[in-house]
Amino acid sequence: MTGIAHISAADTKLAEVLLSLDVDKVQRQRVVEFIDVGLPSPHAENWRWSDLHRAVDKGLDDFPATAGQKTSVELSGISPDKTTFNSSHTDPITMLAGALAADTARRSYSIEQNHSEPLVLQAIKQNQLCASHVQIKIKSGCQVIILEEIADSGQILAVDVREFVLDPGAHLHRILICNKGLKQTRVQQSFVKVAENGHYSQFILDFGAELSRIETHLSYGGENAKATLSGAYLLTDTARADVTSVIHHPHLDCITRQLHKGIVLDHGQAVFQGKFHVPASGQQTDAKMGHHTLLLSDHGRVRAKPELEIYADDVLCAHGNTTGTLDEDALFYMRQRGLCEADARALLMRAFVAQTLEDLPQVMQEQVGDKIDTWLEQAL
Amino acid sequence: MVKNKMLEIKNLEVGINGSSDNILRGLNMSVPSGQVHAIMGPNGTGKSTLANVLAGREGYEIREGSVQFEGENLLELSPEERAAKGVFLSFQYPVEIPGVPAMTFLRAALNSQNKIRGEDKLSAPDFLRLAREKAAMLKVKPDMLKRAINVGFSGGEKKRMEILQMAILEPKLMVLDETDSGLDIDALKIVADGVNSMRSAKRSMIVITHYQRLLDYIKPDMVHVMAGGTIVKSGGPELAHELEKNGYEQFTPAVA
């Protein structure tokens, strides 16, 4: 519980708005519980570079407090589980999602067979303030691709919590595309549990927002599991993107591959926080983290914090982090062959992020590639 | 201007931005259409600077003189405009560009040049046919076209890729900056054969080299000796042999 001293203007405004919502008794209880806790402290280590309080405060200034349709969730026509929705997570973001989301936006799904076509996860948001909380369980040995795209349809604040539970040998390929939304504050928080021999692949493409925080907490639940986390952020104007992840390796022989790349133009601001945690039980962990940025504007900013917390003595853990600009020699070489400067820059930028797409399923390559190409055309 | 002069350099004085010293000091040179001119000289005399200035690299300050290409002021054009006009620089150290496949790069370059010249784009199948045909001619493996341009290529492969680009882009003026560096005898011969296959009455070449050996394969019409930022002696192909025998020492006092 936070003390009085920590209540910010954003907390107060948010509490007023939440209390004005027309909700049922159960949701009202979640509202009260959230207000008691408040937004994550801006002084907390993993929030100090992304000021959620400032973003919420700014967003709520324009909030007209009109009641709208409830947010609802769909997953490619698959029926949600009938069991009562239940989550073990009690962090402020999950609680905020609980306060904002009605039962229509709190769903659990079980995937019990392979799907060759991507399943589309959609939170249909019709309010300026909205949230969803979705749990997806992938049964043993099943393979599935789940695509989610966050559009800018006028939300001031969008909070989405995702829980993915992979049973032994399951393989989930998750693709999250976050479109640009300069007035939007969005927080996507995912909790992933990967059982033995499971494989979780995640690709995030973020074009930034007033604040776009994509947070992934992954924990291996058994031996020989694998996770591939990749993504790219492409920022223009005043767009901000924050990629935060914490990967726990408590079991033997788990493999993590993480690679994020970003391009920052104009007044774009990026945050990368990546943590590998390996307790003494996580022997033979093989984990690599990479974060590389092209910082192409004097006004842009990139903050990066790779963290390795290792207690096991027989592991392979590495991280690499770079910030740079385009290679002038390569630019001249390309122009000497006839490419105009903008085309040469676009080709180099495209090539820079291309590496993060290597792990994408074939069916998604074109869609994601087109998004990047469109951004490059508009940015240059 | 004499009608068949493709390139005319007059009294060219060039320095690096931020330094008052000149690297090129009153250089004069003219290359008629269809001729191959060799520039030889010791290290540090401005040979590569001349190549870079002709191609339009940034960072150089033109302090005096002029460069006319087919009667047009070359110095006021951007690097890509010069390329579209037909100026091609074969780099001493071709740049590695990770993530950009050679084929993608070549097609983008050709289409971009066509666009600047107001010509039509080449369709993808037509381009593929053209690239494959030229690659076979230059003994460039098709696999190399799929790889990122110059990344992990051997010295010989990089130079062959330069020649392949030339063959596809069909420039009017080819500037070969120490194309022989880093090549073994076999690779040198393949590269020289490629260059020779492009000789024509409408195409000129400037071959920059330290050694006479390359000129055994690419026979020049004229040989220029460069020292101290200017051309100190010009002559026929026999001048290269004389240099090989006597070295550059006879010209170095000119620098002092």
Is A351 in Cβ contact with B79 (below 8 Å)?
A: no
Q: So what's the pLDDT on residue A1?
A: 46
Per DSSP bridges, beta strands B72-73 and A269-278 are unpaired
- Structure-block tokens of residue A352: 């820079």
CA distances, B254 to each of A349, B16, B210, B234 (Å): 47, 21, 18, 15
Closest of A249, A185, A182 to residue A214, by C-alpha: A185
Q: How distant is the Cα of B82 from the closest Cα of chain A, in angstroms?
A: 8
Closest of A94, A150, A92 to residue A125, by C-alpha: A150
DSSP secondary structure code for residue B200 in this structure: -
Q: Is the per-residue pLDDT at B240 higher than 90?
A: no
Average pLDDT over residues B230-255: 82
> What does the radius of gyration of chain B's CA atoms come to, in whole angstroms?
18
Q: Is the per-residue pLDDT at B42 higher than 70?
A: yes
Per DSSP bridges, beta strands A72-75 and A119-124 are antiparallel
Sequence ranges of the domains in chain A = 4-324
Per DSSP bridges, beta strands A301-310 and A181-194 are unpaired
Average pLDDT over residues B69-88: 96
Instruction: ipTM value, please give it.
Output: 0.94
Cα separation of B223 and B237, whole Å? 6
Residues of chain B positioned with their CB less than 8 A from the CB of A336: 55-56, 79-80, 82-83, 88-89, 91
- Structure-block tokens of residue A364: 């998604």
Q: Touching check for B108 and chain A: CB below 8 Å?
A: yes
Q: Which residues pair with A291 in a beta bridge?
A: A260, A321
DSSP string, A320-366: EEEEE---HHHHHHHHHTT--HHHHHHHHHHHHHHGGGTTS-HHHHH
Q: Touching check for B165 and chain A: CB below 8 Å?
A: yes
Q: Among B55, B100, B169, whose Cβ lies nearest the Cβ of A351? A: B100
Find the closest chain B residue to A340 by CA distance.
B80
Percent of chain B at pLDDT exceeding 90: 70
Average pLDDT over residues B63-86: 96
Average pLDDT over residues B48-73: 96
Domain B5-254 fold: Rossmann fold (3.40.50)
Q: Which residues of chain A have pLDDT under 70?
A: 1-6, 63-69
Residues of chain B positioned with their CB less than 8 A from the CB of A355: 99
Q: Among B55, B100, B106, whose Cβ lies nearest the Cβ of A336? A: B55
Cα separation of A243 and A259, whole Å? 11
Q: Is the per-residue pLDDT at B255 higher than 50?
A: no
Q: Among A330, A333, A343, whose Cβ lies nearest the Cβ of B108? A: A343
> Distance between alpha carbon A336 and the CA centroid of its chain, in Å?
40
> DSSP 3-state assignment of A250?
coil
Q: Per 3-state DSSP, what percentage of chain B is helix, strand, and coil (rounded to 5)?
A: 40, 25, 35
Q: Among B82, B99, B109, whose Cβ lies nearest the Cβ of A355? A: B99
> DSSP 3-state assignment of A256?
strand
Q: So what's the pLDDT on residue B81?
A: 96
| pLDDT band for position B3 (cuts 50, 70, 90) | low
Phi, psi of B222 (to 5 degrees): -140, 150
| pLDDT band for position B13 (cuts 50, 70, 90) | very high
Q: How distant is the Cα of B92 from the closest Cα of chain A, in angstroms?
A: 11
Q: So what's the pLDDT on residue B254?
A: 47
Burial B89-125 (b: 16+ CB within 10 A, else e): bbbbebbbbbbbbbbbbbbbbbbbbebbeeeeebeee
Task: Determine which of A335, A341, A349 to mutate to test the interface with B (most B C-beta atoms within 10 Å).
Answer: A335
Sequence ranges of the domains in chain B = 5-254
Is A348 in Cβ contact with B55 (below 8 Å)?
A: no
Q: So what's the pLDDT on residue A15?
A: 93
Q: How distant is the Cα of A245 from the closest Cα of chain B, in angstroms?
A: 26
Q: So what's the pLDDT on residue A64?
A: 62
Q: Touching check for B58 and chain A: CB below 8 Å?
A: yes
Task: Determine which of B78, B80, B153 to mutate to test the interface with A (most A C-beta atoms within 10 Å).
Answer: B80
